[in-house]
Structure 1
Amino acid sequence: MEAGRVTSFIAFLFIAAAVLYSIRVAKTRMPSIRKIAGLDAIEEAVGRATETGKPLFYTTGTADITGSYGANIFAGLEILGHTSRIVARNNADMIVGISLPNVYPLALQMVEQGYLYAGKREYFKPDSIQFLSSTQFAYASGCMGIIQREQAAATLMMGHFKAEAILLAEASAQVGAISIAGMTSMAQLPFLIAACDYTLIGDELLVAGAYLAQNPVKMGSIAGQDWAKLLGFILIAVGSVMVTAGSAWLKDLLSL
């Protein structure tokens, strides 16, 4: 039998039980999540766009929903839906830049639903969601062009970005826009942290939908996964101490 299969199955059962229990508890008592400054600042960004009469620019980056960073894009789309509701409520303008055909109809739907939810469906402008290019730097050039021409009041970059990340952040800084970014890639996060006003790091992006919606099922799922992470941290700490002391008991146990 392949090593670790029993342990993996037990871990799966533990995680499933923790998530289901946390969801059940969340329906009666919502778990608390620490404040995420970047998500709370979305109201400020939209307010800035409203006051100045300039648009907010939003983009989800260069990853596809079918790839390894699909979760980032779905998280970015959830934030887009939330942002569009605030934009509609405040009678502000928003331009969305998209790089992949698969993402475009989803972004269009999220923005339309945001306006519908705000009771302002008649103000929805389909041409404000723009497909730019599937080529990385052509897409980046398109985004920078929009930011510069429109003198964007705020820029939100939520999803997955590569080398174009710093280009978009610097373009935002040049026009004095409030910039909020979020992604999980460690390769680009340092640049965004340095260049943006607010940055969602790693899981902060992935939990955004639950944080903004305060949905009991989503919040409970996050709480259950946190218990699983805590167990992992404990096993790593205990295992490190035991191996240092010359004992391979825990290592052998986890290899079952």
Structure 2
Amino acid sequence: MNHANWTVIAVEAVLVFLILYKIFSARRGKDLFIRKIPGLNAIEEAVGRATEMGRPIMFAPGIGGIGLDTLQALLILKHVTTSAAKYRSRVIVPTADSVVYTLSDEISRDAYAAEGVPEQFNPEDIRFLSENQFAYASGVVGILNREKVAANFMFGFFAAESLILAETGHQVGAVQVAGTPMINQIPFFITACDYTIIGDEYYAASAYLSREPTLLGSLVGQDYAKAIIIAIIVAGIITASIFGPNFFWLNWFKPM
């Protein structure tokens, strides 16, 4: 690597050590702090509301194929379906990809079985609509209106159809929680949804919801690593502004 030197290697070693230390700390049972994320805390509330109203829940995993953003959405789907299974509620999952459809079916089936109510799972609630963006959006809009969905979760890859789905969910009176890594769509979700997961909150969701030690420790360790990197950058900017770019410790980070 052209930019590598011993200082960079040393900093990277410290960051890796921090992440591994937090992972092992979590595995040993140490309670690690993660700030509250209101949108994720609202999942239980939304599921409970749908149960009280006797109306179904919908979880839309977006229009993307299998990728990091969709896999994250499926991890959130597992939490939603597990919560719904406890209350014997329906979860409708409209998909736009055949592989996502298959995974959604297995995740939902396993969630109901794990809660001891496999008979509550209805395979027809996992639906493949279309790979076409707006055909998929039309199908989801139809489900929202026909089923009178009480809780609408939208996580994954969304594009121009995001406002259509969010506005329809708002019109039918659903509690809506949404999240996407597509920053261009976040303003539409903020406008029409009750809760929106923003930025790296989206990728922190699986650790936040599952509290699985490896995921939790990795998340906290990465936060510490980010803090160190930000501190080095800020210190470098201040030092270069006052003493110039050739101040002695700044040279440690220059390429070899």
- Shorter-chain TM-score bucket reads over 0.9
* TM-score, length of structure 1 as denominator length: 0.92
For 1:12 and 1:137, how far apart are their aligned partners in 2? 45
Counterpart code for 1:32: F
Q: Which residue of 2 aligns with 1:53?
A: 54
Instruction: Report the 3-state secondary structure (helix = DSSP H, G, I; strand = E; otherwise coil) of the residue aligned with 1:102.
Output: helix
Distance 1:51 1:234 in 2: 48
2:225 matches 1:228: yes
Match 2:144 to one of 143, 147, 159: 147
The whole-number CA distance in structure 1 between the counterparts of 2:190 and 2:8 is: 36
Q: What residue is the counterpart of 1:105 in the other structure?
A: 102
The number of aligned residues is 252
CA distance in 2, matches of 1:141, 1:168: 9
The residue aligned with 1:37 is 38
DSSP 3-state at the match of 1:60:
strand
Secondary structure of the equivalent of 2:176?
strand
Cα offset for 1:93?
1.3
Counterpart of 1:116? 113
From 210, 215, 219, the equivalent of 1:218 is 215
Q: Please report the RMSD computed on the Cα atoms of aligned residues, expressed in angstroms.
A: 1.7
TM-score (norm. length: structure 2): 0.92
Deviation at 1:71, TM superposition (A): 2.1
Structure 1 residues 1-256: aligned runs within 5 Å? 2-4=2-4, 9-26=9-26, 27-65=28-66, 70-245=67-242, 246-249=244-247, 252-256=251-255
**How far has the Cα of 1:63 moved from its partner?**
1.9
Cα shift readout 1:7-45 (whole Å, capped 9, x = no counterpart): 554444233211111011112312011111111111111
Structure 2 gap segments, 5+ residues each: none
Unaligned runs of 5+ in 1: none
The Cα of 1:5 is off from its aligned counterpart by 5.9
Q: What letter corresponds to residue 107 of structure 2 in structure 1?
A: M
C-alpha displacement at 1:89, in angstroms?
Answer: 1.1
Percent of aligned pairs sharing the same letter? 40
Give the SS at the match of 1:2.
coil
Of 3-12 and 20-29, deviating more is 3-12
What amino acid does structure 2 have at the position aligned with 1:254?
F
User: Is the CA contact 1:185–1:202 (under 8 Å) kept in the aligned structure 2?
Assistant: no
Which amino acid is 2:160 matched to? A
Q: Which amino acid aligns with 2:174?
A: A
- SS in structure 2 at match of 1:58: strand
**What is the CA–CA distance in structure 1 between the aligned matches of 2:50 and 2:254, rounded to whole Å?**
56
